[in-house]
Structure 1
Amino acid sequence: MTSSRSVPALRTLLATGVATGLAAGLALVGPTGSAHAVPVQGPVLLDDCDILLDGNRVSSAPDWDVDLTVDHPSPVAVNAPVTVEVDVPDLAADVFPEDLYEGGFALYLYFADENGHTRQLDARRTFDTFDASAPLTMGEFEEDEDWAYLDSGRYAWSVIGVEIVLFAYRTSDDELVTYTYECDSDSTPTALFDVGVYDPNAPAAIVLDAFTATQGDPFVVTGEDFPREATEDPDTDVDVYVGDDLAASFDVDEIGSFTGVVQVPQFAKTGKAVPIRAVAAGESAEAALAVKAKKARLSAKNAKSGKKTTITGDGFKPGDKVKLTLKRKGKAKGTTSYKTTATADGNGAIKKAVKLKKAAKGSWKVTAKGPKSHRTGKTSFKVS
């Protein structure tokens, strides 16, 4: 494992800390409004550890296996400052190989989230003497320096690395040395704490998990930057429309986000770009979804010319006035087409008897179109 910091840079950094008596330094993100910090404690295991002397690896080292406590506010606004506290357990004895004096240490914690964002938290403390056979006292570190999030969303932070750097004099020969204990891990880390970030000035937006759906199919909609749920209004919600049909309602969380499953209405308007709108407290966002129609089922009985054929079907919207077109295939003597309507009953079924006056003999096709159902059906029959 190779150190990620140069020895001159560490010396300058720690020398500055020693000279100024700097007690601590950490950096993270910032809140506004009703943000509140809730301490979160969780296990952190980094199992690929080394000891470096002046930047060169000298040996492997024990795992960094600790319970880390982070006190971080959430939700926070973009570009806002915050005070963050981190409580770090003492480093075990006998990790470093020798005693030192008149120096200090720097602690570097490296964080990443599932989307590849990174943060670095660092702290410095001084000491008169360091006893390698005793634990290195760490403790609580606090920082109120600005560190902005640029985008709203949720950030689940994991610890992916640690460096503890000693910069001091050897008791044996008074030589100035830099020892580094550094750890990371090849395994996927577990998130330690979660931060919700909102942007009060960003336009609301939605994303769909599908480009195409059929009437009655489900899809997932995710929204962000809507008017957020507040303490004084805990029931803030968003209505989702498919075309002109209200299809679902969801609660909006404390950062103005929501995720939910929407079912395309059974008789939704079809098309290549049906608008999907999410509306909350006067703010809205829109996306498009190609909606395909379900096929209505249709059947017709064979009949003799001059007699009646009975057309039945289902899958239409109740009350829909279904347009029926009967047409003979190809040219022939006699009547070759008829048009009529049938009203769908409460179950969406139709039944219509059509007299085939002077109908041409042969194969016929029936087409049914439900204007309110946005569905069609087809079948065929024979006239003899």
Structure 2
Amino acid sequence: MQVGSELSQGRAAIVSARTVVVKIGSSALTSLEGGLDTARLDLLADAVEARMRAGSDVVVVSSGAIGAGLAPLGLSKRPKDLATKQAAASVGQLALAHAWGTSFARYGRTVGQILLSADDFARREHHRNAQRTLDRLRSLGAIAVVNENDTVATEEIRFGDNDRLAALVAHLVGADALILLSDVAGLYDGDPRKGAANFIPEVRGSADLDGVIAGSGGALGTGGMASKLSAARLAADAGIPVLLASAADAASALAAGTVGTAFAARPIRLSGRKFWVRHAAEPRGAVLLDAGAVDAVGQRHSLLAAGITGIRGRFFGGDVVDLVSPDDEVVARGVVEYDSTEVVSMLGRSTTELPDTMQRPVIHADDLVKV
């Protein structure tokens, strides 16, 4: 949906962004009847090429591997079982990569495919490896096309949707803007397909989302408005503004920023370490807090043993753990200093009661982030 000609600060930042991540949803590239739609893919590649010629560095996050594999395998709908999803992805991923390579070859550009799993972000070493690969690929003048590694990802380690993957990639490459393209024109306070719904052109903070009802994905994808709102929040934590628009308006979205819904970034971005703790790391256990410790954590103080009432799971020093309130709500996440067996021996004890080797905070304030 077209918005006013005068750009907001967030839209202006998206238009002027030097490094842009563009996520393209399954519905923009595939159909149940015909599989991969190369004509639509070419139009999207045209829009990306125009943005690159205008001086931006663009990374593409492309959904569609499973959708592209359905028709060749004679499947009439997206499968529900994991094995068939992986089989469809193995066929579709090849077609998808070839189509992107062929389309960008029209402009003399080389495409490099990068397949990532959630584990590649959860493990710091894998995270750094992915970052180095993306940086080197871009420095060599190639266009990175990223997708989730659906052929091996299990339900337990999946991103869940490529909106989240795109936001994590945007942080990984230090992007200045994230553009999410799908089959919706932007954010509405309800589902416009089910009746009257009001279009929301700008989201400057959480108050702008009051009353918004977000749904799940469609027949070909796993995303939906709920996943896009989550991705926008994730990107905002990294200081990255987001534009949500229809893939049919890709040219306007990338060139002028006058379509869709713009999400403003938070004014102060999370540090790289805190971003990883909140959004990418896989918690290895949980630490249970009393009410006083919940208040202290909320005020960004270090977590001391005196406020801990118990633990869940087995973890080691350096692992990320959830911090859980007496109401069983996860209130924060942090990097723990001690093994779970050590924390058990420290429960409820003041710092002066502990041995010298255990007088450090259980979680230092610099390694703790609210969720």
TM-score, length basis structure 1: 0.21
Max Rg structure:
1
Larger helix proportion of the pair: 2
TM-score, length basis structure 2: 0.21
Larger strand proportion of the pair: 1
